[in-house]
């Protein structure tokens, strides 16, 4: 299995203005100085890395399938992967520095914590967009599909991370509630057309 692995410089990650607004719960054209201050602090601690691999897609009957991390059921993902015999499985993390910053802000400034947490979530989505472009190159794909969406359960996160060797290569793990650590990390499956 060939892994696609690398670092994404923070200045190459674009935040979709609508994603930012949704996370901050403001209008898309709304801005205030605190947003910029928090983003500057955030950029200093981000250590964005990605990891991806191409896998076969095996349909096992009904809504069961295997995308390289064992058998599971998901009608929604199966529909998303229609006519796909291969897929990219990939992940992105903004790194443990973001977790440390958020933990610090949680105790000293609830406002800065909320803003920075929202911005880091939007930045993680932007990082996934960038990683997707790097991993797929010119390959035609279906939209990426992440655990927690529809019936694609988050309990599959440990198996996805194990397939990617993400604990060793990126330091990504999963807690008992299946939430990833570092917190601002995302996994996805993207069918190859």
Q: pLDDT band at residue 31, thresholds of 50, 70 and 90? A: confident
86-104: average pLDDT: 98
- Taking Cα atoms as reference points, which of 49, 24, 46 lies closest to residue 119? 24
Domain that holds residue 76: 3-192
Q: How many domains does one find in the chain?
A: 1
| pLDDT value for 2 | 78
SS3 65: strand
Mean pLDDT value across the chain:
95
Determine whether 148 is exposed, middle or buried from the number of CB atoms within 10 Å of its CB (0-12, 13-18, 19+).
middle
Q: pLDDT band at residue 166, thresholds of 50, 70 and 90? A: very high
pLDDT in tens, 58-85: 999 999 999 999 999 999 999 999 999 9
d(Cα 154, Cα 160) in Å, to the nearest integer? 10
| pLDDT value for 169 | 95
| pLDDT value for 73 | 96
Q: What order of strands is seen across the sheet that includes strand 86-93? A: 3-7, 49-56, 86-93, 185-192
Q: 180: domain CATH number? A: 3.40.109.40
């Amino acid at each position: 299995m060939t892994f696609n692995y690398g670092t994404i410089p923070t200045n190459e990650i674009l935040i979709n203005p609508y994603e930012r607004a949704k996370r901050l719960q403001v209008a898309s054209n709304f801005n205030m100085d605190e947003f910029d201050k928090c983003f500057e602090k955030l950029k200093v601690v981000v250590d964005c890395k990605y990891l991806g691999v191409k896998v076969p897609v095996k349909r096992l009957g009904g809504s069961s399938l295997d995308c390289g991390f064992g058998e599971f059921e998901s009608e929604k993902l199966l529909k998303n992967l229609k006519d796909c015999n291969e897929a990219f499985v990939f992940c992105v993390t903004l790194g443990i520095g973001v977790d440390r910053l958020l933990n610090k802000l949680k105790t000293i400034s609830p406002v800065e914590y909320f803003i920075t947490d929202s911005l880091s979530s939007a930045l993680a989505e932007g990082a996934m967009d960038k990683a997707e472009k790097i991993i797929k190159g010119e390959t035609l794909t279906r939209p990426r599909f992440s655990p927690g969406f529809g019936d694609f359960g988050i309990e599959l996160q440990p198996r996805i991370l194990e397939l990617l060797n993400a604990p060793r290569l990126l330091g990504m793990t999963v807690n008992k509630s299946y939430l990833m650590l570092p917190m601002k990390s995302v996994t996805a499956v993207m069918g190859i057309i």
